[in-house]
């Protein structure tokens, strides 16, 4: 166990309220005035979660989007947000605010308050945002720990684009201009869909967002649900840009499944709901992809066109 | 207007929801499921809000306390909190968590969730906390902008202790050991009282917490209420330790009134409620101090034993 894991274990002991969901879910869910209040707080730090030369408007967008993604995963409608801003240079901050306004409007999540703090000289920028949402009525907000044997496993978007975008932006890889722009945008401007999360909530058993890598997040769902999850690597959706850039090999698929920053939904649902699930998505103009299944057992197993594939050593961003 | 003020003005334009209270109050207040949800988010940064050698448990206590102080000022009961932790050295983080557990228990504000982030090397520590509370039932949570001419002005604790504690801790001043300990503790372990805030809420017109300095915070109440506030410098309560340390002069009183970090309540209420207000406080074992009055007009004026005193140039921590 590394120091971060040990720290999180100690936090879990402290967060004994059922609303905290053992700190093992995307958000806290509590009853407030008879409604389900869904709350999440995420922080982004320069040099860790975003690049020093990322456009400030994109940093703001991502700050809002990663929190909205947590709400979407709990089937919650955005209600509002509060954020804490570390003051830097005027021009940067002004562009950041423009991006914040754009993202708040796009995700229909009004800014309700927050804090503005001065930072010591040369400190990295950091921003925290709390998003609150209203969860499903009359049923619990979906948890990541309720997958059942027999469920089908789905994702709501292509996997690995953001990771390629990051590799391009850091200069680790180069791509043709068109591809590079699309993939970089997937890294900088994730597009979670609370409308999709809300529509899926009554149909799923378990739901979470993919933020740290498909394999590590699926492993978390398996652990929280005390089930085994099997994923067909060949069924994992790759974008046209990713295929053009890296080709379509098992290696490129494994890279995509461990890259992180996808901010789409990962959910499991009884197989006999598949048709309704596809309808719900089609009504919203969204695509869904069945990528595997849940069974009795533990852990994640991987197949590629039916052949077992050993799991890579690193499943994603671990913390 | 400095850059921080300009930034806050731009944020205000963005925070158009009535729940945001124009970003001019201690917290956001919104209707959720028929109850008043009160939300605040405060960040503390090493080298800005706390000292690098402050005991980590005290940093955690203060992080919780400054947010609870905002809830108290809106007459809200603590419901829970989420916080974002910047990982540092193990021992420091472990001591921080112990202080967090102590503060959450003391203020009856369970930890519901949050985020843990790695920081770049040598970055200052920073922590954000979102506190949520349940506001008064059947009446709006008190705002800082509802003071009325004829109101009496009150504070709920001694003023200036924390500022002296900070001066002692930074070595700017030296004091006898007993005094120094008490005053340093006032800086490091503020003790807001949500129970007092809740009990006062039905009786006050305007309420806020004193965080940036009594004079600057009173000026904010005057501006938000479009009233004038007169303060009797001689009526402002000083602790026995502060008197022993600095004596009791107009100069020491002006220093106390501009020091900040008091985290007590500042409120105005009709004069004919004074007896009930004193009763409410006595029932909770707390002391209240009438320090001035509200009248038609604008701004803050200061008297010392009846003689007008010019306002100091710096009224407190401005942002």
Give the pLDDT confidence of B72-104 residue by residue, as tens digits: 999 999 999 999 998 888 899 999 999 999 999
Poorest-pLDDT segment among B6-20, B144-158, B300-314: B6-20
How many CB atoms are located within 10 Å of the residue B296 CB? 10
A8 and B83: CB-CB below 8 Å?
no
Residue of B257, B131, B145, B261 lying closest to B204 (CA atoms): B145
C-beta of residue A86 within 8 angstroms of C-beta of residue B84: no
Eight-class DSSP state of B160: S
The binding site of B for ATP consists of 114-115, 211
Looking at the complex, report in whole angstroms how far the Cα of residue B6 sits from the nearest Cα belonging to chain A: 9
Nearest Cα residue to A202 out of A269, A145, A252, A250: A269
Angle at alpha carbon of residue B207, lines to B206 and B210, rounded to 5°: 135
pLDDT at residue B124, as a whole number: 92
* Nearest residue of chain B to residue A25 (CA atoms): B113
For residues B298 and A258, what is the distance between their CA atoms, to the nearest angstrom?
A: 61
Q: Which of A169-173, A231-235, B156-160 has the lowest mean pLDDT?
A: A169-173
CA distance A78 to A255: 32
User: Rounded to a whole number, what is the largest CA-CA distance in chain A?
Assistant: 58
Report the pLDDT averaged over residues A58-80. 97
pLDDT, mean of residues B281-295? 97
Q: What is the pLDDT of residue A270?
A: 98
The 8-class DSSP code of residue B2 comes to -
Residues 6+ positions from B186 with CB-CB distance below 8 Å: B161, B162, B164, B165, B239, B261
B172 burial (CB, 10 Å; 0-12 / 13-18 / 19+) is: exposed
Instruction: Tokens 């180069």: give the residue.
Output: A174
CB-based contact A264:A155 (threshold 8 Å): yes
What is the C-alpha separation between A18 and A15, in angstroms, rounded? Answer: 8
Chain A contacts of B16, Cβ < 8 Å? 110
A31 in a labelled binding site: no
Q: For A24, name the nearest residue in chain B, comparing CA atoms only.
A: B113
Identify whether the C-beta of residue B81 lies closer than 8 Å to the C-beta of residue B104.
Answer: yes
Q: Is A213 helix (H, G, I), strand (E, B) or coil?
A: coil
Cβ neighbours of A20 in B, within 8 Å: 110-113
Shortest distance, CA A119 to any CA of chain B (angstroms): 7
DSSP label at residue B119 = -
Residue A3, pLDDT > 80, answer no
The token duo for A239 is 């974008």
Q: pLDDT value at position A1?
A: 58
Residue A30 CA to residue A18 CA, distance in Å, equals 8
Length of chain B: 319
Q: Chain A: residue nearest B10 by CA? A: A97
Comparison of pLDDT for A30 and A89, the residue scoring more: A30
Residue A114 known to bind ligand: yes
pLDDT of B230 reads 98
Mutate to test the interface with B, among A2, A41, A89, A108 (most CBs of B within 10 A): A41
| DSSP β-bridge partners for residue B134 | B37, B77
Note whether A110 contacts B: Cβ–Cβ < 8 A.
yes
How far from each other are the two terminal CA atoms of chain A, in whole angstroms? 10
The answer to which of A174-188, A241-255, B99-113 has the lowest mean pLDDT is A174-188
A113–B contact, CB cutoff 8 A? yes
pLDDT-derived band at A27, boundaries 50, 70, 90? very high
Model pLDDT for residues B215-253, shown as the tens digit of each residue: 999 999 999 999 999 999 999 999 999 999 999 999 999
pLDDT at A319 over 80: no
Whether B114 and A17 lie within 8 Å, measured CB to CB: no
- Does A49 carry a binding-site annotation? yes
B160: which 2 tokens? 């200036």
- Three-state DSSP class for B250? helix
Give the closest of A28, A47, A80 to B17, CB-based: A80
Q: Which of A84, A85, A103, A113 best probes binding to B when mutated, by most B CB atoms within 10 angstroms?
A: A113
Assess whether pLDDT exceeds 70 at residue A288.
yes
pLDDT over 90 (residue A7): no
Q: For residue B290, what are its two tokens?
A: 């009438």
| % of chain B at pLDDT higher than 70 | 99
B interface test, pick of A21, A114, A118, A141 with most B CB neighbours within 10 Å: A114
Give me the percent of chain B exceeding a pLDDT of 90.
Answer: 80
- pLDDT digit string (tens) for A97-150? 999 999 999 999 999 998 888 888 889 999 999 999 999 998 899 999 999 999
pLDDT category at A151 given cuts 50, 70, 90 is: very high
Chain B residues whose CB is inside 8 A of the A126 CB are 86, 117, 126
Q: Which residue shows structure tokens 């690995």?
A: A160
| More confident site: A269 or B175 | A269
Tell me which of B124, B128, B129, B134 to substitute to probe the interface with A (most A C-beta atoms closer than 10 Å).
B128
Q: Check CB contact of B15 with chain A, cutoff 8 Å.
A: yes
Chain B contact set for A34 (CB, 8 A): 33-34
Whether A41 sits inside 8 A of B82 (CB atoms) is yes
Q: Which domains does chain A have, with CATH numbers?
A: 3-134 (3.30.1330.10), 151-309 (3.90.650.10)
Annotated binding site of B for substrate: 49, 261
pLDDT at B82: 96
Spatial CA neighbour of A190 closest among A158, A236, A219: A158
Q: Pick from A7, A112, A113: which is nearest to B116 by CB?
A: A7
Q: For the residues B205-218, what does the mean pLDDT come to?
A: 97
Predicted pLDDT at B1? 58
Residue B229: predicted pLDDT: 98
B309 touches chain A (CB under 8 A): no
pLDDT at B21 over 70: yes
How would you classify the pairing of strands B151-155 and A307-309? Answer: unpaired
A100 with A70: CB under 8 angstroms? Answer: no
- Report whether pLDDT(B319) > 70: no
Please say whether the beta carbons of A41 and B110 come within 8 A: no
Distance CA A80, CA A78 (A): 6
A211 labelled as ligand-binding? Answer: yes
State mean pLDDT over B108-132: 92
Sign of the CA dihedral running A159, A160, A166, A171: negative
* Beta carbons of B28 and A85 less than 8 Å apart: no
CA dihedral over B226, B230, B235, B240, signed as positive or negative: positive
* Average pLDDT value for chain A: 94
Distance between A97 CA and the closest CA of chain B, angstroms: 7
Residues of A in contact with B37 (CB under 8 A): 32-33, 37, 132
Alpha carbon distance A28, A9 (integer Å): 17
Distance from CA of B260 to the nearest CA of A (A): 16
Residues of B in contact with A90 (CB under 8 A): 3, 6-7
pLDDT digits (tens, 9 = 90+) for B250-270: 999 999 999 999 999 999 999
Which helix H or strand E contains A17, and what residues bound it? none
Q: Which pLDDT does position A260 carry in this prediction?
A: 92
Q: How do beta strands B299-304 and B228-232 pair?
A: parallel
Determine whether A282 is exposed, middle or buried from the number of CB atoms within 10 Å of its CB (0-12, 13-18, 19+).
exposed
Residue A174 CB partners (closer than 8 Å, separation 6+): A168, A180
A261 touching chain B per CB within 8 A: no
The DSSP code sequence of A258-302 is TT----EEEEEEEGGGHHHHHHHHHHTT---EEEEEEESSSEEEE
Look at residue B142 in the predicted model and tell me its pLDDT.
97
> What is residue B76's three-state secondary structure?
coil
Q: With bands split at pLDDT 50, 70 and 90, how would you rate the model's confidence at A193?
A: very high
Instruction: Share the mean pLDDT of chain B.
Output: 94
**Measured between alpha carbons, how far is residue A88 from residues B52, B176, B292 in Å?**
21, 40, 39
B9 exposure class (CB count in 10 Å sphere: 0-12, 13-18, 19+): exposed
CA-based nearest residue in chain A for residue B37: A32
Torsion sign over Cα A243, A249, A254, A257: positive
Q: Do B112 and A30 touch (CB under 8 A)?
A: yes
The dihedral sign for the CA sequence A206, A211, A217, A218: positive
B318 falls in which pLDDT band (50, 70, 90)? confident
- Is the pLDDT at A180 greater than 70? The verdict is yes
Q: Which residue of A has its CA nearest to B103?
A: A14
């Amino acid at each position: 166990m590394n120091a971060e894991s040990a720290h999180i274990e100690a936090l879990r002991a402290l967060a004994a309220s059922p609303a905290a969901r053992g700190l093992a879910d995307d958000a806290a869910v509590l009853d407030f005035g008879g409604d389900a209040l869904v709350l999440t707080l995420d922080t982004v730090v320069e040099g860790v979660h975003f690049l020093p030369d990322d456009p400030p408007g994109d940093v703001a967008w991502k700050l809002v989007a990663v929190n909205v993604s947590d709400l979407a995963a709990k089937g919650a409608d955005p209600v509002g947000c509060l954020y804490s801003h570390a003051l830097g240079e005027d021009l940067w901050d002004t562009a950041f605010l423009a991006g914040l306004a754009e993202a708040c409007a796009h995700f229909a999540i009004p800014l309700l308050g927050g804090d503005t703090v001065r930072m010591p000289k040369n400190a990295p920028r950091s921003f925290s945002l709390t998003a609150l949402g209203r969860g499903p009525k009359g049923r619990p907000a979906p948890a990541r720990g309720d997958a059942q044997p027999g469920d089908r496993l789905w994702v709501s978007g292509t996997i690995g684009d953001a990771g390629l975008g990051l590799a391009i932006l850091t200069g680790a890889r180069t791509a043709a201009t068109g591809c590079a722009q699309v993939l970089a945008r997937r890294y900088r401007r994730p597009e979670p869909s609370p409308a999709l999360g809300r529509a899926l909530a009554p149909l799923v058993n378990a739901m979470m967002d993919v933020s740290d890598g498909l394999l590590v997040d699926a492993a978390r769902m398996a652990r929280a649900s005390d089930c085994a999850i099997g994923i067909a690597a060949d069924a994992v959706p790759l974008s046209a840009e990713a295929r053009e850039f890296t080709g379509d090999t098992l290696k490129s698929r494994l890279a995509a499944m461990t890259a992180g920053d996808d901010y789409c939904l990962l959910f499991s649902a009884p197989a006999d709901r598949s048709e309704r699930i596809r309808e719900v998505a089609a009504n919203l103009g969204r695509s869904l992809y069945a990528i595997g299944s849940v069974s009795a057992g533990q852990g994640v197993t991987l197949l590629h066109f039916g052949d077992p594939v050993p799991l890579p050593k690193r499943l994603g961003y671990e913390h």
